[in-house]
Chain A
Amino acid sequence: MTLLAIEDLSVVIHGRGRQVAALSGVTLSVGSGEVVGLVGESGGGKSMVARSIVGLLPGGSQASGHVFFDGSDVLAMGRAELESFRGRGAAICFQNPRGALSPTRTVGRQLVDRLLTHQKLSPDQAREVAAELFESVGIRSPKRRLAAYPHELSGGMAQRVMISLATGCAPGLLIADEPTTGLDVTLTREILARFRQAADAEGRGVLLISHDLASIAEVCDRVVVLYAGTVVETGPVARVLTEPAHPYTRALLRSVPDLDGRPVAVTPGSMPLLREAPGSCPFAQRCTDSSERCTAERPMARLITGEWSTACFHPKTGSLAERVHGLDDIAHARHLEQAEYPLRIGEAPSGEPSGEIEAPGKAATTGGAPYRTEVVDAREVLRVEDAHVVYGSRFGGGGHHALRGVGLSVAAGETLGVVGESGCGKSTLARLMLGLQAPTRGRVEVAGRDLAKVRGAELRRLRTRVQLVFQDPIGSLSPRRTVADAIGEPLRAAGVPAAEREARVRAALERMELDASILERRPHELSGGQAQRVGIARALVGEPDLIVFDEPTSALDVTVQAQILKVIAEVTSDPSRGAVFISHDLATVRGFCDRVVVLYLGRIVEEGPVESVFGDPRHPYTRALLSSAPSLGRGFAGAGVTLTRDLEETDAARGCALAPRCPFSVPACAEREQELRDHGGSRVACHRAADIPGLIELIER
Chain B
Amino acid sequence: MRVLRFVLRRLLQLVPVLLGVVILTFLLVRVLPGDPIKTILGPNASEADAAAARARFGLDQPLWQQFLDYLGGLVTGDFGTSIQSGGAVASEMAVRLGPTLELVVIALIIALVIATVLGIWSARRAGGAGDHTVRVGALVGNSVPEFWLGLVLILVVYSVLGWAPAPSGRVDPDTNLSLITGADLLDAALTANGPAFLSALHHLMLPVATLVIVIVAPLLRSVRASALEVLRSEAYTAAATHGLRDRLLLRGYLLRATLARLPALAALVFGFAIGSTVLIEYVFSWQGFGQWALRGLLFRDYPVVQASVLVIALLYVLVFLIADVVQAILDPRVRI
* Interface, chain A (partner B; CB < 8 A): 54, 56, 83-88, 91-92, 94, 96, 99-105, 109-110, 113-114, 117-118, 149, 151, 165-166, 169, 394
Tell me whether B233 is interfacial, beta carbon within 8 Å: yes
Residue among A91, A113, A169 with the most chain B CB within 10 A? A113
Contacts of B244 in A (CB 8 A): 87, 113-114, 117
Check A103/B257 contact, CB under 8 A, given A84-B243, A114-B244: yes
Contacts A/B (CB < 8 Å), 26 sampled: A56-B237, A84-B243, A86-B241, A87-B241, A87-B244, A88-B243, A92-B242, A94-B238, A96-B234, A100-B238, A101-B235, A102-B236, A102-B238, A103-B331, A103-B332, A104-B256, A104-B257, A104-B260, A113-B239, A113-B252, A114-B242, A151-B332, A165-B238, A166-B242, A169-B242, A394-B335
CB within 8 Å for A105 and B252 given contacts A114-B244, A117-B245: yes
**Inter-chain pairs besides A83-B245, A104-B331, A394-B335, 11 sampled, C-beta below 8 Å:** A87-B242, A100-B237, A101-B235, A102-B238, A102-B252, A103-B331, A104-B260, A117-B243, A149-B332, A151-B332, A165-B242
Within the assembled complex, what's the spacing in Å between the Cα atoms of A113 and B238?
13
8 Å CB contact of B243 from A94, A101, A169: A169
Q: Please, which residue of chain B has its CB at the minimum distance from the CB of A165?
A: B242
Q: Does B333 contact A (CB under 8 A)?
A: yes
Q: Is A101 in contact with B238, judged by CB distance below 8 angstroms?
A: yes
Chain B residues near A85: list those with CB within 8 A: 243
Complex-state Cα separation, A96 to B233, whole angstroms: 12
Nearest-CB distance from B106 to chain A (Å)?
28
CA distance A105 to B234 in the complex (A): 14
Indicate if B330 sits at the interface (CB-CB under 8 A).
Answer: yes
B248 within 8 A of A: yes
Residue of B238, B241, B253, B260 contacting most chain A CB atoms (<10 Å)? B241
A99–B234 Cα gap in the complex (Å)?
A: 6
- Residue in B245, B248, B330 whose beta carbon sits within 8 Å of that of A104 in the complex: B330
CA distance A109 to B256 in the complex (A): 14
B239 & A110 in contact (Cβ 8 Å cutoff): yes
Q: Which residues of B contact A151 (CB under 8 A)?
A: 332-333
- In the bound complex, residues from chain B placing their C-beta under 8 Å from that of A101 are 235, 238
The 6 closest A-B pairs by CB, nearest first: A87-B243, A86-B243, A100-B238, A149-B332, A99-B234, A102-B235
Q: Is the CB of B332 within 8 A of A100?
A: no
* Closest partner residue, chain B, to A87 (CB atom): B243
Interface size on B, residues (CB 8 A): 24
Q: Are A56 and B241 in touch, CB under 8 angstroms?
A: yes
Is the CB–CB distance between A100 and B234 below 8 Å?
yes
Q: Does A86 lie within 8 Å of B240, measured CB to CB?
A: yes
Instruction: Give the complex CA separation of A87 and B248 in angstroms.
Output: 14
Report the minimum CB–CB distance from A227 to chain B (whole Å).
26
Contact pattern, B 167-202, Cβ under 8 Å of A = 1, otherwise 0:
000000000000000000000000000000000000
| Known A-B contacts A105-B253, A113-B248, A113-B252; A100 and B243 likewise in contact (beta carbons under 8 Å) | no
B253 nearest in chain A by CB position: A102
CB distance from A695 to the nearest CB of B (A): 45
How many A-B contacts at CB < 8 Å in the complex?
Answer: 80
CB-CB under 8 A from B330, the residues of chain A are: 104
- In the assembled complex, the Cα of A92 lies from the Cα of B332 at a distance in Å of 25
A193 CA / B47 CA spacing, docked (Å):
97
- In the bound complex, residues from chain A placing their C-beta under 8 Å from that of B333 are 103, 149, 151
B135 to chain A, nearest CB (A): 20
Residue of A nearest to B332 (CB): A149
Q: Name the residue on B nearest A91 (C-beta).
A: B242
Distance in angstroms between the alpha carbons of A105 and B238 in the assembled complex: 13
Cross-interface CB contact of A92 among B238, B252, B257, B331, cutoff 8 Å: B238
Closest chain B residue to A148 by CB distance?
B332
A99 nearest in chain B by CB position: B234
Q: Is the CB of B243 within 8 A of A83?
A: yes
B203-234 interface code vs A (CB 8 A; 1 in, 0 out): 00000000000000000000000000000011
Nearest CB on B from A287, distance (A):
36
Determine the residue in chain B with the shortest Cβ distance to A90. B241
Q: Give bound CA distance, A92 to B242, whole Å.
A: 7
B61 to chain A, nearest CB (A): 46
User: How many Å lie between the Cα of A262 and that of B260 in the bound state?
Assistant: 53
Using known A-B contacts A103-B331, A151-B333, determine if residue A118 contacts B243 with beta carbons closer than 8 Å: yes
Q: Residue on B with the closest CB to A103? A: B333
CB distance from A11 to the nearest CB of B (A): 17
Whether B243 and A105, one on each chain, are in contact in the complex, defined by CB atoms closer than 8 angstroms, is no
- Chain A residues with CB below 8 A from B256, complex form: 104-105
For the complex, give the distance between the alpha carbons of A257 and B248 in Å.
Answer: 47
Name the residue of chain B whose CB is nearest to the CB of A53.
B241
Residues of chain B lying within 8 A (CB to CB) of residue A54 = 241
Instruction: For the complex formed, measure the closest distance between the CB of A349 and the CB atoms of chain B, giving whole angstroms.
Output: 49
From B234, B253, B257, B332, A94 is in contact (CB under 8 Å) with: B234
Interface membership of chain B positions 265-306, coded 1 if the CB is closer than 8 angstroms to chain A and 0 otherwise: 000000000000000000000000000000000000000000
B176 to chain A, nearest CB (A): 49
A510 CA / B235 CA spacing, docked (Å) = 43
List of B residues within 8 angstroms of A88 by Cβ: 243
Is A99's CB under 8 angstroms from B332's CB? no
Q: Which residues of B contact A86 (CB under 8 A)?
A: 240-243
**Complex: A103 Cα to B260 Cα, angstroms:** 11
- For A100, what are the chain B residues with a Cβ–Cβ distance below 8 Å? 234-235, 237-238
- Min CB distance, B257 to chain A, in Å? 5
Please name the residue on chain B nearest to A118 by beta carbon: B243
A113-B252, A117-B248, A151-B332 are known contacts. Are A103 and B243 too (CB-CB below 8 A)? no
Instruction: Give Cα A102–Cα B255 distance, bound, in whole angstroms.
Output: 12
Task: Give the complex CA separation of A166 and B243 in angstroms.
Answer: 10
Tell me how far the C-beta of A111 lies from the nearest C-beta in chain B, rounded to whole angstroms: 10
Min CB distance, B253 to chain A, in Å? Answer: 5
Which of chain A's residues have a CB closer than 8 A to the CB of B260?
A: 104
Distance (whole angstroms) from the CB of A170 to the closest CB of chain B: 10
Residues from chain B with a CB closer than 8 A to the CB of A113 are: 239, 244, 248, 252
Closest partner residue, chain A, to B240 (CB atom): A86
A103 to B235, CA, bound (A): 8
| Residues in A neighbouring B245, C-beta threshold 8 A | 83, 117
Q: Which chain B residues border A109 with CB–CB below 8 Å?
A: 252
